[in-house]
Chains A and B, each alone.
Chain A
């Protein structure tokens, strides 16, 4: 598969009072177009830092980041980001939240009616057309996260970046949204980089699972190819031995090779 997102020899260190803290060391990763890659690791391993680097919210200490043939020099609408805590603006309705993004990206070339149509299309994609005029505090946590996903997808990004998008949700809502995300990605063919700490989520959704070692100086420990055919069905996978084997490999990495002494 051709390289679409490329992370080359990335180092990342933060200045602290005790001197430089090396969060990431020598990260190399390439993601093909239409590929779904998850980053998994114990908390504090720098997986969110890596995602923020790709998003352009942080600037690397050394190395090169490339997205669709261009070097990443800052945040931009070619990468849609879904944050862990939805980050919807509470004073705007769901539709207005999405419209803000759509207007920024397509406002120069399209009419207001077209922009509105894009907004509604994005809401329909996550089955929230009925909540268009609701404020974020009037809908459930799962719905907010869906609006967040709709906002990220509405700008037709080249890459979708998901930072533990379902981390704050209850297990049932999370499962429901995972299924929806699978359907959406199958429909849009998006390239996705997702951070998670949920092993089942990683195996269910990804083409590849990137497992990170513990920080400081975290790096990529191992990569698991998830060769389960799509569309995937969560119930069918329960009895699939390949699923359990993959799950076992990730668990083994996390709890045998990278077990935290202090955790």
Chain B
């Protein structure tokens, strides 16, 4: 019965709203239900199905390939692990249940729950990325607005941007003489570039039409900034922020592996030393999922500011 209802829903949902009335005439027969072509089947369509039918269909269209992809991934993983020392999906799952059932325990400085590790890493990313945003975005605006500054900064940016994030770590250790600020410094310096560059491009790409409006009205520089430059370049700024937070999250694992302390990167290294490979795989998934959530939440914010 439930299968019949499901197929019913999907069928009614597939055609556009206008043709929904004709759909039930054909729908019941493949599902092996009541005779086709009569009026009564029409009544069985609840308003809910008609209202959300399209959404349900779209959800399944998007979800089915995803489930397939993840399924194949797990199967390949299982096959590989069966022929090697790699722990399989099931073993990892049981281990993960254990790890996540007590995420906030504290047994000394080097043995804390995964929740603390994630929060510590997020904290470092937050501070480093936050400082990069506070400096990078205004700097990007000025570079985009003033040609001289742009010419001044261009060689510095092109020189420093391609430097591998971890190359900055010794400088941080030297200057701050401590591991934690050095890790934050690495996040800062590697995540500042996308924000500077994207903001500057955004300001430079503000359509001339809008600037002409500012010109013919003789708007003050402050009004030009708040009413035209800032809103017009906001989508670019948000792209920069999104790229930056991606970089920051990428870099944190590597930085923490080298600096130690509590954090998801250090946890990976610690579990390697303990030869607890399941935990390493759990950490990889955790890093991926947290990164995905960060990215998606910023996409959600960015979508609020789309004007076209």
Q: Which residues of A contact B (CB under 8 A)?
A: 55-57, 75-77, 79-81, 83, 85, 87, 89-92, 100-101, 104-105, 135, 137, 155
List B contacts of A87 (CB < 8 A).
209-210, 212-213
B215 touching A91, Cβ below 8 Å? no
List B contacts of A81 (CB < 8 A).
212, 216
Query: What is the CB-to-nearest-CB distance from B220 to chain A, in angstroms, rounded to a whole number?
Result: 8
Query: What is the CB-to-nearest-CB distance from A154 to chain B, in angstroms, rounded to a whole number?
Result: 11
Q: How many residues of B contact A (CB 8 A)?
A: 16
A-B contacts, CB under 8 A, total: 52
Give the contacts of B212-256 with A (CB-CB under 8 A): 212-213, 215-219, 223, 227-228, 231-232
A104 touching B212, Cβ below 8 Å? no
Compute how far the CA of A77 lies from the CA of B219 in the bound complex, rounded to whole angstroms: 10
List B contacts of A85 (CB < 8 A).
209
Residue of B nearest to A90 (CB): B307
A104 touching B308, Cβ below 8 Å? no
A92 touching B217, Cβ below 8 Å? no
List B contacts of A76 (CB < 8 A).
216, 218
- Chain A CB within 10 Å — which of B210, B212, B217 has the most? B217
Q: List 10 A–B pairs whose Cβ atoms lie within 8 Å, in order of A's numbering.
A: A75-B218, A77-B217, A79-B216, A83-B209, A83-B212, A83-B213, A90-B307, A91-B307, A104-B223, A137-B307
Instruction: Give the dominant DSSP class at A's interface.
Output: loop
In the complex, given contacts A77-B217, A90-B308, A91-B232, what are 17 additional A-B residue pairs having Cβ atoms less than 8 angstroms apart?
Answer: A57-B215, A75-B217, A77-B216, A79-B216, A81-B212, A87-B209, A89-B210, A89-B227, A91-B231, A91-B307, A92-B227, A100-B219, A100-B223, A104-B217, A104-B218, A104-B223, A137-B307
Q: Which residues of B contact A (CB under 8 A)?
A: 209-210, 212-213, 215-219, 223, 227-228, 231-232, 307-308
Compute how far the CA of A79 lies from the CA of B228 in the bound complex, rounded to whole angstroms: 21
Query: What is the CB-to-nearest-CB distance from B308 to chain A, in angstroms, rounded to a whole number?
Result: 7
Query: What is the CB-to-nearest-CB distance from B227 to chain A, in angstroms, rounded to a whole number?
Result: 6
List B contacts of A137 (CB < 8 A).
307-308
List A contacts of B232 (CB < 8 A).
91
Compute how far the CA of A81 lies from the CA of B307 in the bound complex, rounded to whole angstroms: 24
Compute how far the CA of A80 lies from the CA of B213 in the bound complex, rounded to whole angstroms: 10
A77 contact from B210, B218, B228, B231, Cβ within 8 A: B218
Compute how far the CA of A87 lies from the CA of B217 in the bound complex, rounded to whole angstroms: 13
A89 contact from B215, B216, B228, Cβ within 8 A: B228
Instruction: Give the dominant DSSP class at B's interface.
Output: helix
Query: What is the CB-to-nearest-CB distance from B236 to chain A, in angstroms, rounded to a whole number?
Result: 14
A57 touching B216, Cβ below 8 Å? yes
- Chain B CB within 10 Å — which of A75, A77, A101 has the most? A75
Q: Which 7 pairs between the two chains have the least Cβ-Cβ distance?
A: A90-B307, A91-B231, A87-B209, A75-B215, A81-B216, A75-B216, A104-B217
List A contacts of B227 (CB < 8 A).
89, 92, 100
With A76-B218, A104-B223 in contact, do A89 and B308 touch (Cβ < 8 Å)?
no
Query: What is the CB-to-nearest-CB distance from B150 to chain A, in angstroms, rounded to a whole number?
Result: 22
List B contacts of A89 (CB < 8 A).
210, 213, 227-228, 231
Query: What is the CB-to-nearest-CB distance from B210 to chain A, in angstroms, rounded to a whole number?
Result: 6
Compute how far the CA of A147 lies from the CA of B215 in the bound complex, rounded to whole angstroms: 18
List A contacts of B210 (CB < 8 A).
87, 89
Residue of B nearest to A161 (CB): B216
Compute how far the CA of A98 lies from the CA of B125 in the bound complex, rounded to whole angstroms: 43
Compute how far the CA of A90 lies from the CA of B210 in the bound complex, rounded to whole angstroms: 10
Residue of A nearest to B231 (CB): A91
List B contacts of A92 (CB < 8 A).
227
List B contacts of A91 (CB < 8 A).
231-232, 307
Query: What is the CB-to-nearest-CB distance from A53 to chain B, in angstroms, rounded to a whole number?
Result: 13
A101 touching B307, Cβ below 8 Å? no
List B contacts of A155 (CB < 8 A).
217
Residue of B nearest to A97 (CB): B213
List A contacts of B231 (CB < 8 A).
89, 91
Query: What is the CB-to-nearest-CB distance from A263 to chain B, in angstroms, rounded to a whole number?
Result: 27
With A89-B231, A100-B223, A104-B223 in contact, do A55 and B307 touch (Cβ < 8 Å)?
no
Compute how far the CA of A155 lies from the CA of B223 in the bound complex, rounded to whole angstroms: 17
Query: What is the CB-to-nearest-CB distance from B203 to chain A, in angstroms, rounded to a whole number?
Result: 15
List B contacts of A100 (CB < 8 A).
217, 219, 223, 227
